[in-house]
Amino acid sequence: MANTGGNNTTLIARHTEVTGDLHFRGNLVIEGRVNGNVCAHSDSDARLQIVDGGVIEGEIRVPNVVVNGNVKGDVHASGHLELASKAVVEGNVHYKLIEMVKGAQVNGSLVSNVEIDTASEPRMIGYSETVEADAE
């Protein structure tokens, strides 16, 4: 989908607290605190950056995410996820491509969302999806 709005960047500055869910396109930089879910349209090339000192308490569903602050909730990144050296995530991390720097912390599960082409997977010998029994 073409980006008709340009490369928009929204900033939640230090000492700013937002309560409620955020939905955005473009770029979102969190230096303050968000108490709510943060979502971007999955068909966009949206990017969320949580800087050192930034906090999100809620679920994140954004294609591209850079974390160098604190997240209390699950993270879903359908594109690229970067966990920088001061990142602390308390929740499960779902990713397609991940980059994790020494010092980053995840208190939860790392779940890869790479799509696997099941047609090219080798089948187990002797396994059949349909079972036929002869009644004689």
- The tens digit of pLDDT for each residue in 47-78 reads 999 999 999 999 999 999 999 999 999 999 99
Q: Which of 105, 112, 100, 66 lies closest to 89, judged by CA?
A: 105
- Residue range 23-40: average pLDDT? 96
- Whole-prediction pTM: 0.79
Task: Report the C-alpha gap between 122 and 119 in whole angstroms.
Answer: 8
First to last CA, the chain: 60
